[in-house]
Amino acid sequence: MGFDGSEGNGLFADLYELTMLRAFGECGMNGEAVFSLFVRHMPDDRNLLIACGLDEVLAEIERFRFSPDDIDYLRSLGMFPERFLDGLRQFRFTGDVFAMPEGTPFFPDEPILEVAAPIGEGQMIETLVLNQIGLQTLLASKAQRFVGAASGRQVADFGARRAQGFDAALKGARAFAIAGVSGTSLLAAGARYGIPVTGTMAHSFVEAFSSEAEALAAMMRIYPRTVLLVDTYDSLQGVRNVVDLAQNLGSDCRLTGIRLDSGDLDALSRGARAMLDEAGLAHLKIVASGGLTEARIETLVRAGAPIDIFGVGTEMSVSADAPFLDIVYKLTEYAGAGRMKLSSLKSTMPGRKQVYRQEIDGVAVQDVIACANEACAGTPLLQQVMRRGARLNSTPAGLSDIRDQAARLIGEMPAELRALAPAGRAYPVVVSDSLRSETQALRARLVSGMAAC
């Protein structure tokens, strides 16, 4: 099954990947290449990034292929000979993949995934890998800020309606869960990933009845353990209606909470809490939603607003303040020799690499980017996850395991990096001496080669 329900996923690629695949083949260039996936710059207002999307990407790579319809389409372009098109039927990815586990905090220039494969194959999956790891890393990194700001209170994902498309809504829910978000409104994400689903009623439900009290009573009768939305007309009047209904039911009342979706959430949550407590409904939780940013959540939490669960939509779902990562997938080695682009400061470091995280007393203090075969102090972050096109761990860790591990890894980062405010200093990421001298040697070789042109 392909990325959009079609039979193959091979067309989730840019045309140039196909033109290069053929050209490499016709030039007899089937040597092994290394491609490295990394982020070039930290977005403004981020202190760290959270690697995410590996599981989905490995699944897509394992099933990467061209269906007969895909090949018919490619034939229609009139650019490819029949022999090449015929070969595409058998196309499979046969390379190795090394990657940081999902949920690992990382920094610019650090490879989070490396592919070692025949060059045409490694090139072929470029767009797929960038798109999926880029999206999920973007969203997990944003969600970490919401979870941090909520400071132990729950964050729920209400963002499917504002996410950028079906795939972003679905994969986003998973990325949020890995970063510590506790539930999602999106049924498809619940079904696919086992994330707890949440949600009860919209304003339209209340509006369709002749009074708010009638609508709330109906909802309580049908779903005794529900959360009632109280802000359709007047939030505190809505709370009074809830109190009346609960008191009428007495000990039969199973209600679990109320939701505020507009207005001054600090003042309204305090007003609602006081009314509920006074009515003996101290166990009812208060859910707040409505355009929440991580900064707003932090302000509410610090002010002591009695909100138990934050329902978050748009701002988290599109990573509104930084809606993309400067993420790239670069050739760093071919046929045993390092490769790099020289133009415009966008140079890369050659070869396969490893990232070592060094800690003191359980707190990360420095990362070292080193050559893959170099021994360094610290914990190596990149692990082999695919060998000759097959995943090494055929039963990947469940979502809750990934989430627990992510919480541990994030918890090991310095506190100032986990905060919303810009950290006073960038986390130290250094390049090992060996890798630095290899980079310089390659650059010198390329520059002198150009001078000889």
Interactions with a second copy, residue window 176-205 (CB under 8 A): 185-188, 190-192, 197-205
CB 49 to a second copy: min, Å:
15
Q: Decide if residue 134 touches a second copy (CB under 8 A).
A: yes
Q: Is 27 left (phi over 0), alpha (psi -120 to 50) or beta?
A: alpha
CB 77 to a second copy: min, Å:
7
43-to-24, 96, 119, 163 alpha-carbon distances in Å: 35, 30, 31, 20
Residue with tokens 């060998």: 387
Q: Decide if residue 161 touches a second copy (CB under 8 A).
A: yes
Tell which residue, 31, 33, 231, has the closest CA to residue 114: 33
Q: Which of 32, 45, 62, 167 binds a second copy (CB under 8 A)?
A: 167
253 contacts 217 by C-beta, under 8 angstroms: no
What is the C-alpha separation between 350 and 369, in angstroms, rounded? 12
Number of shown-chain residues binding a second copy (CB under 8 A): 114
Three-point CA angle 255, 256, 258, nearest 5°: 95
Q: Decide if residue 282 touches a second copy (CB under 8 A).
A: no
CB 378 to a second copy: min, Å:
30
Q: Which is nearer to a second copy, 187 or 375 (CB)?
A: 187
Three-point CA angle 396, 102, 338, nearest 5°: 105
CB 80 to a second copy: min, Å:
10
Q: Which is nearer to a second copy, 213 or 301 (CB)?
A: 213
Compute how many other C-beta atoms are within 10 angstroms of the C-beta atom of residue 197: 17
Q: Which of 162, 270, 285, 391 binds a second copy (CB under 8 A)?
A: 162
Q: Decide if residue 144 touches a second copy (CB under 8 A).
A: no
440-to-62, 107, 343, 428 alpha-carbon distances in Å: 36, 22, 15, 21
Tell which residue, 135, 15, 152, has the closest CA to residue 73: 15
122 contacts 95 by C-beta, under 8 angstroms: yes
Q: Decide if residue 146 touches a second copy (CB under 8 A).
A: no
Q: Which is nearer to a second copy, 69 or 416 (CB)?
A: 69
Q: Is 211 left (phi over 0), alpha (psi -120 to 50) or beta?
A: beta
Q: Which of 343, 394, 395, 448 binds a second copy (CB under 8 A)?
A: 343
Q: Which of 11, 147, 177, 382 binds a second copy (CB under 8 A)?
A: 11
125 contacts 61 by C-beta, under 8 angstroms: yes
CB 57 to a second copy: min, Å:
12
Q: Decide if residue 267 touches a second copy (CB under 8 A).
A: no
β partners of residue 363: 360
Q: Decide if residue 308 touches a second copy (CB under 8 A).
A: no
Q: Which of 50, 54, 57, 169 binds a second copy (CB under 8 A)?
A: 169
Q: Decide if residue 336 touches a second copy (CB under 8 A).
A: no
Q: Decide if residue 305 touches a second copy (CB under 8 A).
A: no
Q: Decide if residue 448 touches a second copy (CB under 8 A).
A: no
Q: Decide if residue 156 touches a second copy (CB under 8 A).
A: no
Binding mask 82-121 for a second copy (x = CB under 8 A): -------------------------------------x--
Q: Decide if residue 248 touches a second copy (CB under 8 A).
A: no
Q: Decide if residue 388 touches a second copy (CB under 8 A).
A: no
Binding to a second copy (CB under 8 A) within 29-48 occurs at: 29, 33, 35
Residue with tokens 């995934």: 113
What is the C-alpha separation between 77 and 286, in angstroms, rounded? 58
CB 119 to a second copy: min, Å:
6
- The DSSP symbol for 161 reads T
Binding to a second copy (CB under 8 A) within 350-379 occurs at: none
What is the C-alpha separation between 45 and 423, in angstroms, rounded? 9
Binding to a second copy (CB under 8 A) within 401-440 occurs at: none
CB 150 to a second copy: min, Å:
21
Burial degree of 68 (CB within 10 A; 0-12, 13-18, 19+): exposed
CB 447 to a second copy: min, Å:
8
Q: Which is nearer to a second copy, 54 or 381 (CB)?
A: 54
